[in-house]
Amino acid sequence: MSQPPSTSKTIVLPLLVAALLGGGVAAGVTAVIVDGNAGDTHTTTVIRQSAIAAQGANGNRANAAEGLTAADIYQRYAPGVVFVHSEIIEQTNNPFDPFGGAQKSESTGSGFVIDATGDILTNNHVIDGATPDSITVQFADKKTLKATVVGKDPSTDLALLKVDPEGLDLKALPLGSSKDVHVGDPTIAIGNPFGLDRTLTTGVVSALQRQIQAPNGFAIKDVIQTDAAINPGNSGGPLIDSAGRVIGINSQIETGGAGQGNVGIGFAVPIDTAKAILANLKKGQSVQRAYLGVTSLTVDGQLDALNLPVNHGALVQTVESGSPADLAGLKAGDVQATLAGGASGSSDPVVLGGDIITKVDGKAITSSDQLSQLVMSHKPGDKVKIEIMRKKVTKTVTVTLGKRPPALQTG
């Protein structure tokens, strides 16, 4: 598996408020107004918001027929966005308390209705560690109901909640496809930042195919980057396109080391990732993924100065003890080196002397990401043939892939 990149990204953690503590947040609303003055006459004209139709790949505007504005989308779909509350009890290690201790706090985040049966999609980290009977969701009409966790997948940071739909007029949000998204497309985020319920922010798709790290250490791929303002409490809320379809689940922000506030770089787990595991989540089944147990570095032109014996592949950096890779005899190196010209002009560490994975089942490996994708295309228990270059000698080993552990242990 490829090694997660070192970043300063911060998970948009649910807003945590210690019990018995309170605070106030002041918010302002800004309207765009044009003033025209003619003599003593003062005329105020309110500018009507224009439609936010996006230019599609085929040259057609995605919602030109409806002419949806951000206000239109909010009116239609904000009622389907919920305010998620839960109670977190964290054990504390107090050397002066022989019986241990516990600290109680409240977690808040966002979620959205996906069907009429009461299913609600959110981030796993919004409800992680919550006491089961403490999770509630609040709707736009202020009606609050208890919710149960039906299924969760820490590796994609997704969870499915359920409420009893009896007597509810549920407003399900339509699910789009992240494959249809292009850089520059308009985006709308609806959520509950800092406890301010059903807040709308707008922006564009800033980049595609980003990679972020789930709280359990595994990489989440094909992530959508947006400049729509996302803050703590937005976690689990929808990222919506100009036609009102959900294209992602808002999950993390880049803080630039300046705290937890938004700096214009947010990340959403693609909705296609959620759709691929929804069937498992609805059945309460864990998502089983194949696991090799290595972290690696792409071998390409940037490593030419290291005089490696091949010019493509994945250079093994670490091998998890007891993993399928370890049992099959794959080896990491033991020579520390630095690679000049890394992020921000710094020198990135490289471990030399380990195996270079060049093929999996006869398919040439061109990057560590490709290695990861090939492994995940298999099921636990599958046997794969891995060709490696070890000290300028080509070897082939057969690996029986395992089941991905709950958390990444290797560095």
What residue type is assigned to position 187 of the chain? T
| CB-based contact 312:364 (threshold 8 Å) | yes
Chain-centroid distance, C-alpha 258: 20
| CB-based contact 148:161 (threshold 8 Å) | yes
Rounded CA gap, 273 and 156, in Å? 8
Burial (0-12, 13-18, 19+ Cβ within 10 Å), 56: middle
Q: Give the per-residue pLDDT at 22.
A: 30
More confidently predicted of 215 and 12: 215
Task: Give the range among 52-56, 83-87, 139-143, 274-278 with minimum mean pLDDT.
Answer: 52-56
Beta bridge partners of residue 111, listed in sequence order? 82
| CB-based contact 110:80 (threshold 8 Å) | no
| CB-based contact 394:356 (threshold 8 Å) | no
Q: To which residue do tokens 């003593």 refer?
A: 40
- Collect all residues with Cβ–Cβ distance below 8 Å to 193 and sequence separation of at least 6: 199, 229, 230, 231, 232, 233, 234
Q: Give the per-residue pLDDT at 92.
A: 60
What rounded mean pLDDT belongs to the chain? 78
Q: How many CA atoms lie within 13 A of 328 on its CB side?
A: 26
Q: How confident is the model at residue 33 (pLDDT cuts 50, 70, 90)?
A: very low
Q: Give the per-residue pLDDT at 6.
A: 40
Active site residues: 125, 157, 235
Q: Give the per-residue pLDDT at 130.
A: 87
| CB-based contact 282:150 (threshold 8 Å) | yes
Q: How confident is the model at residue 14 (pLDDT cuts 50, 70, 90)?
A: very low
Residue among 245, 269, 235, 276 at smallest CA distance from 114 = 245
Q: Give the per-residue pLDDT at 347.
A: 56
Strands 136-138 and 41-46: unpaired
Q: Give the per-residue pLDDT at 384.
A: 94
Q: Give the per-residue pLDDT at 368.
A: 86
Rounded CA gap, 247 and 269, in Å? 9
User: Residue ranges per domain, the chain?
Assistant: 78-162, 290-403
pLDDT one-digit tens code per residue, 321-343? 999 999 999 999 888 877 665 44
| CB-based contact 12:252 (threshold 8 Å) | yes
Structure tokens at 214: 């789930």
pLDDT one-digit tens code per residue, 51-79? 555 544 444 444 444 568 888 899 899 99
- DSSP secondary structure of 164-224: --TT----PPPB--GGG--TT-EEEEEE-GGG-TTEEEEEEEEEEEEEEE-TTS-EEEEEE
The CATH architecture to which 290-403 belongs is Roll (2.30)
Q: How confident is the model at residue 317 (pLDDT cuts 50, 70, 90)?
A: very high
Q: To which residue do tokens 């002419």 refer?
A: 67
Domain 78-162 superfamily per CATH: Trypsin-like serine proteases (2.40.10.10)
For the cut 70, the answer to whether the pLDDT of residue 46 exceeds it is no
* Dihedral sign of CA atoms 49, 54, 60, 62 in order: negative
For the cut 60, the answer to whether the pLDDT of residue 49 exceeds it is no
Residue among 285, 174, 293, 191 at smallest CA distance from 236 = 191
For the full predicted model, state whether its pTM sits above 0.85: no
Q: To which residue do tokens 């790949």 refer?
A: 57
For the cut 70, the answer to whether the pLDDT of residue 263 exceeds it is no
